């Protein structure tokens, strides 16, 4: 039975999320009316803060499906009760990310054009199909998980969802990986890197959502044994992501033509090196690893802190990856020093504007609202464990 205070808390959170979303929609409208001139983006840094939030949400969306996949595909029954929330979060995060991406378009009202004109050589066009497909698969998956009579379909649909999300994140990474001309991207390792990042970011978001929603609903927190497994899993995913990031940079450092770019991103190109090392590596990866592995820090609070840091580290990583990657001058004339009125040979500045930040936060708010409302409307949260009485000892 829901208490009055729980009901009040739900409506208060709904109102707060709605207010952030309303402000974000206002910011998007302002940018559309005035054009992108009122943002920090320009002809050199063409993707800015909205893309940082959008890519974070889309990558985390695919990773949020982890828990459901572990239950349905890999048969780990302890995870199964949490599968519906895992699927709901995927839908919520994906919707939030796509909202930001669409509202940042130069012509957002032409979404129907994007839906009716496909260039199948474009990984962007493929991604539109992959994103919409994931919505459809998640809807079926959720149905199979929640409707007892369809339970037998949960495994095959779960398998399809697992394969689909791996392909989808490969597609998201390839948006950058296929950019042949840019020093920061153009690498096959970006696709597996994005998959590793998605595993970590998605599980961190899942943990935060699960503990928050369970608390709101007055349910017991995740049982201790499963909590310990989730902690280890999150740590492994954070290490896997670090590994791929290291491989990407080390490969670049081996190539003479990429050394200048690496020096810029890792050493000299403020603010990107600080964001990379302090933001992503230390606060977003190493500190969470300590929080997750240290035996004295096994509380749910430590896991929550680690999850928050992983998510913040994700934003720092993406800011460096997306904005820093564009800020470094494109090498059109190898062996020459270049100068022009169009930023040739020069590091480009980018100062994110308030409307961009608000739009990005609006994406988070949209995801939050969908998860909050979905968890209330559907029986999403794991039921409390029924204690089975031990047989009485024989007298």
Q: Which residues bind another protein (CB under 8 A)?
A: 32, 34-37, 42-44, 46-47, 105-108, 110-111, 113-114, 117-119, 121-125, 128, 175, 178-182, 326, 330, 332-333, 335-344, 348-349
Shortest Cβ distance from residue 127 to another protein (Å)?
A: 8
Shortest Cβ distance from residue 95 to another protein (Å)?
A: 18
Give the nearer residue to another protein in terms of CB position, either 125 or 282.
125
Which of 166, 183, 148, 194 has the alpha carbon at shortest distance from 55?
194
Question: For residues 81 and 380, is the Cβ–Cβ distance under 8 A?
Answer: no
Give the nearer residue to another protein in terms of CB position, either 25 or 236.
25
Residues 6 or more apart in contact with residue 46 via CB below 8 angstroms: 326
Give the nearer residue to another protein in terms of CB position, either 175 or 316.
175
Question: For residues 345 and 70, is the Cβ–Cβ distance under 8 A?
Answer: no
Shortest Cβ distance from residue 337 to another protein (Å)?
A: 4
Structure tokens at 34: 């005035």
Give the nearer residue to another protein in terms of CB position, either 128 or 217.
128
3-state helix/strand/coil string of 291-314: HHHCHHHCCHHHHHHHHHHHHHHH
Give the nearer residue to another protein in terms of CB position, either 115 or 228.
115
Residue 107: how many CB atoms within 10 A of its CB? 9
Shortest Cβ distance from residue 46 to another protein (Å)?
A: 4
Give the nearer residue to another protein in terms of CB position, either 180 or 394.
180
Residue 147: how many CB atoms within 10 A of its CB? 11
Structure tokens at 208: 């935060």
Shortest Cβ distance from residue 176 to another protein (Å)?
A: 8
How far is C-alpha 391 from the geometric centre of its chain's CA atoms?
Answer: 47
Give the nearer residue to another protein in terms of CB position, either 15 or 354.
354
d(C-alpha 317, C-alpha 48), whole Å: 13
d(C-alpha 190, C-alpha 196), whole Å: 10
d(C-alpha 39, C-alpha 217), whole Å: 40
d(C-alpha 82, C-alpha 157), whole Å: 16
Shortest Cβ distance from residue 37 to another protein (Å)?
A: 4
In the three-class reduction of DSSP (H, G, I as helix; E, B as strand; rest coil), residue 99 is classed as helix
The number of residues making up the chain comes to 395
Give the nearer residue to another protein in terms of CB position, either 48 or 273.
48
Give the nearer residue to another protein in terms of CB position, either 8 or 110.
110
Helices 300-318 + 224-254 axis angle, to 10: 20
Shortest Cβ distance from residue 123 to another protein (Å)?
A: 7
Question: For residues 315 and 52, is the Cβ–Cβ distance under 8 A?
Answer: yes
Shortest Cβ distance from residue 110 to another protein (Å)?
A: 5
Shortest Cβ distance from residue 345 to another protein (Å)?
A: 8
Categorise residue 69: left if φ over 0, alpha if ψ from -120 to 50, beta otherwise: alpha
């Amino acid at each position: 039975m829901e208490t009055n205070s729980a009901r009040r808390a739900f409506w208060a959170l709904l109102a707060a999320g709605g207010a952030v979303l309303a402000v974000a929609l206002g910011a998007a409208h302002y940018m559309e009316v005035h054009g992108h001139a009122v943002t920090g983006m320009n002809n050199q840094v063409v993707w800015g803060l909205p893309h940082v939030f959008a890519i974070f949400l889309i990558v985390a969306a695919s990773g949020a499906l982890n828990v459901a996949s572990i239950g349905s595909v890999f048969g780990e029954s302890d995870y199964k009760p949490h599968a519906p929330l895992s699927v709901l979060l995927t839908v919520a995060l994906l919707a939030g990310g796509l909202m930001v991406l669409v509202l940042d378009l130069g012509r957002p009202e032409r979404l129907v054009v994007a839906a009716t004109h496909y260039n199948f050589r474009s990984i962007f066009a493929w991604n539109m199909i992959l994103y919409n497909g994931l919505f459809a698969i998640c809807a079926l998956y959720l149905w199979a998980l929640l409707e007892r009579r369809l339970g037998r379909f949960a495994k095959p649909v779960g398998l399809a969802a697992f394969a689909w999300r791996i392909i989808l994140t490969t597609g998201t990474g390839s948006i950058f990986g296929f950019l042949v001309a840019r020093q920061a991207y153009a690498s096959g390792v970006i696709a597996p890197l994005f998959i590793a990042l998605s595993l970590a970011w998605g599980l961190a978001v899942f943990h935060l959502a699960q503990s928050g929603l369970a608390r709101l609903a007055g349910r017991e927190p995740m049982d201790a044994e499963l909590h310990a497994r989730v902690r280890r899993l999150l740590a492994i995913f954070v290490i896997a992501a670090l590994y791929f990031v290291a491989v990407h940079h080390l490969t670049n450092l081996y190539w003479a033509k990429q050394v200048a770019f690496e020096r810029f991103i890792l050493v000299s190109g403020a603010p990107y090196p600080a964001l990379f090392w302090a933001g992503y590596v230390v606060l977003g990866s190493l500190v969470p690893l300590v929080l997750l592995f240290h035996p004295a820090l096994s509380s749910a609070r430590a896991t929550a802190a680690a999850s928050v840091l992983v998510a913040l580290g994700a934003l720092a990583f993406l800011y460096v990856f997306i904005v820093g990657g564009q800020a470094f001058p494109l090498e059109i004339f190898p062996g020459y020093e270049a100068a022009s009125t169009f930023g040739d040979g020069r590091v480009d500045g980018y100062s994110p504007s308030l409307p961009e930040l608000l739009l990005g936060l609006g994406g988070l708010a949209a995801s939050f609202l969908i998860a909050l409302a979905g968890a209330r409307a559907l029986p999403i949260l794991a039921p409390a464990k029924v204690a089975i009485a031990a047989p009485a000892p024989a007298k």
